[in-house]
């Protein structure tokens, strides 16, 4: 079971304050976060959070300010240790790591991108990107080669010798991303990484992250308080409130099966036409390769089906859907037939 997940968080509690024991007793009897603060002077950071994160997924953690997002993500690289609970990565209990194991883990397996970029102002872009390798003692030509490679991957060739203040916010965050990627970690933690950027730049960064992810296939834990951002980039979304996990699921599940009034009010303002994608609501096609015994042949839908892409929003395909009477054939970005879409499904999704 546990092996299924890249990262598994089991029953994590985090109490800030002088007497976590007293606060823990009260939590277990269902006392609220604000009452616990009044009665014990302790802050409940996380309250019995369990979460499974699959390899190769972008897992978004969402919630209002103070809901515990940063506290949660900091458990993953052990910037914070829990009051109780387990953090399992690749089947290993991270909390049991000794000093060397923890150092190895932080250097090779997991990196973090910060909201305020966290660049050293007196170092060039190249030196900033190479920073993690420098402290590992990697020799100069080798670390610069890797840094150049990752700067190119994030679209930043040509500014290697510039200093951070000479770059726009979006470019600075690209340096932050290159720096986090430079030791090719499996896991990337991004805490409000795009929140400080202008809307247009932010949207570009989201697109670029998605593109990069297609190639890199990292496990990305992405914190945001921006629902549109969460819906756009998340394979899964976990919603926190007062340190508790309220719901976790795919963007479509969050939008179409909100667990209770809090989630409903959270998603209230979102434009469903934009947020729900064809792939979220289509009926999946039979895997043709299996039907035909594994032969590889071209996947052609029966004639008369208009074609759309799984990544398109309902808004984009709505005119076509309204015009046709038969199902739409859905293709992925590699032009494989993946499903069919009919009006009923779409209407249910929108007017649920």
Site string for ligand ATP, 209-248 (x = CB under 6 A): ----------------x-----------------------
Site string for ligand ATP, 37-76 (x = CB under 6 A): ------x-x-----------------x-xxxxxxx-----
Nearer to ligand ATP, 45 or 176 (CB): 45
Residue in this structure with the two tokens 């699959």, named with its chain if needed = 54
Q: Give which of ligand ATP, Mg ion, none residue 92 binds (C-beta under 5 to 8 Å, depending on kind).
A: none
Nearer to ligand ATP, 34 or 265 (CB): 34
Task: Supply the minimum distance, in Å, between the C-beta of residue 75 and ligand ATP.
Answer: 10
The reply on whether position 20 binds ligand ATP by CB under 6 A is no
For the purposes of burial, counting CB atoms within 10 Å of the CB of 231, is it exposed (0-12), middle (13-18) or buried (19 or more)?
Answer: buried
The reply on whether position 70 binds Mg ion by CB under 5 A is yes
Residues 209, 207: Cα–Cα separation, whole Å: 5
- Strand 110-113 with 187-191, pairing: parallel
Nearest CA-CA partner of 84 in 167, 27, 133: 27
Task: Supply the minimum distance, in Å, between the C-beta of residue 40 and ligand ATP.
Answer: 13
Task: Supply the minimum distance, in Å, between the C-beta of residue 236 and ligand ATP.
Answer: 18
Q: Where are any strands of DSSP class E within 35-164?
A: 43-53, 58-63, 84-89, 92-93, 110-113
How many CB atoms within 10 Å of residue 322? 9
How many CB atoms within 10 Å of residue 264? 10
Q: Which of 10, 16, 155, 324 binds ligand ATP (CB under 6 A)?
A: 16
Q: By CB under 6 A, how many residues form the interface with ligand ATP? A: 12
Residues 239, 36: Cα–Cα separation, whole Å: 22
The reply on whether position 195 binds Mg ion by CB under 5 A is no
**Backbone angles phi and psi of 238, in degrees to 5:** -115, 130
State the residues that interact with ligand ATP by CB under 6 A: 16, 43, 45, 63, 65-71, 225
**Contact set with Mg ion (CB under 5 A):** 70
């Amino acid at each position: 079971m546990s092996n299924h997940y890249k990262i598994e968080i089991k029953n994590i509690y985090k109490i800030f304050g002088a007497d976590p024991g007293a606060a823990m007793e009260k939590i277990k009897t269902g006392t609220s976060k604000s009452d616990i603060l009044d009665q014990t002077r302790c802050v409940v950071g996380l309250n019995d959070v369990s979460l499974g994160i699959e390899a190769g997924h972008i897992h978004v953690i969402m919630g209002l300010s103070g809901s515990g997002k940063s506290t949660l993500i900091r458990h993953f690289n052990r910037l914070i240790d829990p009051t109780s609970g387990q953090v399992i990565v690749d089947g290993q209990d991270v909390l049991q790591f000794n000093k060397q194991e923890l150092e190895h883990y932080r250097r090779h397996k997991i990196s973090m991108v910060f909201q305020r970029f966290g660049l050293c102002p007196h170092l060039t872009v190249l030196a900033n990107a190479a920073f993690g390798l420098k402290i590992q003692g990697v020799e100069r030509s080798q670390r610069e080669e890797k840094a150049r490679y990752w700067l190119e991957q994030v679209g930043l060739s040509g500014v290697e010798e510039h200093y951070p203040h000479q770059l726009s916010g979006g470019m600075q965050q690209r340096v932050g991303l290159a720096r986090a990627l430079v030791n090719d970690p499996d896991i990337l933690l991004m805490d409000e990484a795009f929140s400080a950027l202008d809307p247009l730049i932010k949207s570009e960064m989201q697109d670029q992250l998605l593109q990069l992810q297609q190639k890199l296939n990292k496990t990305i834990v992405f914190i945001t308080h921006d629902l549109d951002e969460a819906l756009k980039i998340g394979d899964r979304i976990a919603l926190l409130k007062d340190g508790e996990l309220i719901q976790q699921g795919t963007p479509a599940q969050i939008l179409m099966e909100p667990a209770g009034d809090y989630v409903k009010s959270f998603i209230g303002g979102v434009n469903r036409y934009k947020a729900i994608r064809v792939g979220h609501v289509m009926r999946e096609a039979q895997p043709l390769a299996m039907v035909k015994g594994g032969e590889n042949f071209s996947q052609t839908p029966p004639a008369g089906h208009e074609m759309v892409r799984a990544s398109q929003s309902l808004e984009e395909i709505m005119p076509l859907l309204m015009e046709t009477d038969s199902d739409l054939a859905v293709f992925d970005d590699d032009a494989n037939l993946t499903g069919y879409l009919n009006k009923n499904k779409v209407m249910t999704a929108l007017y649920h």
